Structure 1
Amino acid sequence: MNEPISTTLVEKKFNLIDETATVNFGKKLAEIVKNKLNHGIVVYLNGDLGAGKTTLTRGFVQGLGHKGNVKSPTYTLVEPYDLGDWQVYHFDLYRLADPEELEYMGIRDYFNAQSNCFIEWPEKGTGLLAKPDVTVNIEYQNEQRVLMVIAHTTIGKQLLSALS
């Protein structure tokens, strides 16, 4: 599904001043997926607890038209959002005890061209998850969030290029 790009790493850094900027970044990602890529993405989200992984995902889900709450799926493993032509699956694997649990829930069925999968704590599902189009590393520096977005596929590279 996702073609790997050359061994040259493509990455960009973004400084976000507050929570609103993080939500807006997620909305911008949704706009690019909808209007430029017309293809779902797989995003691995890395960062400490409270770094803004769910906040970014909330912006994306809202950017595709969701009007309700967007909550962290810490206890359910996945929170699905059916948004017409698009699906968003927000995974939080923090409490995953055994990666085999992902097989039981049919993890491979979640990844397709109309699905956008945002995966927190992806290292807990190693070997069972689709490869990411982009990895987003989030950390705090002073009061700001700093995002390092790394493209791993052609789609990821197109997404990163559109963010410029």
Structure 2
Amino acid sequence: MSARQVELPDEQATGALAQALAAALDGGLVILLHGELGAGKTSFARALLRALGVGERIKSPTYSLVESYRLPGGTAWHLDLYRIADPAELEWLGLDALADPSALVLVEWPERGEGALPPPDLRIRLDYAGGGRRAELEAASPRGARLLERLG
């Protein structure tokens, strides 16, 4: 599958990447967000949801584990699995709705929910790079590869 790296020198660059991704989306997608604490996973998710038209306050799902938002074309789910110790803990969350192919699913700390999450279309790794960040986008499905192609 295809991959690309994007330098993110500041929060504006992170927002610009999220806007470009939002413009390239043509339906549902499962995006796994990897990175250390403070690497920008939540900032990226918020910027993407905002770019997709979410007008309400976008809360961090750190304590609630999952937040849902109405999008013009469906639903977005934002999960933060940092506090999950075992993927079996996710059973009570009712993750069946995440299997909807028209839904956008954003998952922070996906390694903590391995085996309980839908298969990813796109993996985004956010890392520290100098005074800013770096994003590595990797397609994990044909849908993810088409998205990366549309990003140009």
TM-score normalised by the chain length of structure 2: 0.94
Residue 74 (structure 1) aligned with residue 74 (structure 2): no
Corresponding residue pairs, total: 152
TM-score normalised by the chain length of structure 1: 0.87
Q: Provide structure 1 residue ranges, at least 5 long, that are not aligned to the other structure.
A: 1-8
Residue 147 (structure 1) aligned with residue 135 (structure 2): yes
Corresponding position of 1:13? 5
Deviations 1:20-74 (A, max 9, x none): 11122112211111xxx2x200001001111110111111111111123222200
Q: Give the 3-state SS of the residue equivalent to 2:78 in structure 1.
A: strand
Residue 49 (structure 1) aligned with residue 37 (structure 2): yes
- Whole-Å separation in 2 of the counterparts to 1:163 and 1:17: 19
* Structure 1 outlier segments of 4+, above 6 Å: none
Letter in 1 for 2:54: H
Contact 2:75 2:103 (8 Å CA) reproduced:
yes
Contact 1:65 1:83 (8 Å CA) reproduced:
yes
Please report how far the alpha carbon of residue 110 of structure 1 lies from its aligned counterpart in structure 2 after TM superposition: 1.9
Among 47, 50, 54, the alignment partner of 1:62 is 50
Q: CA RMSD in A?
A: 1.2
Among 17, 24, 28, the alignment partner of 2:20 is 28
- Whole-Å separation in 2 of the counterparts to 1:148 and 1:98: 26
Deviations 1:1-37 (A, max 9, x none): xxxxxxxx3110111121111122112211111xxx2
Please report how far the alpha carbon of residue 97 of structure 1 lies from its aligned counterpart in structure 2 after TM superposition: 2.9
Q: Give the 3-state SS of the residue equivalent to 2:61 in structure 1.
A: coil
Residue 94 (structure 1) aligned with residue 89 (structure 2): no
Q: Provide structure 2 residue ranges, at least 5 long, that are not aligned to the other structure.
A: none
- Whole-Å separation in 2 of the counterparts to 1:108 and 1:40: 15
Letter in 2 for 1:26: A
- Whole-Å separation in 2 of the counterparts to 1:85 and 1:160: 20
User: How much identity, in percent, do the aligned residues show?
Assistant: 38
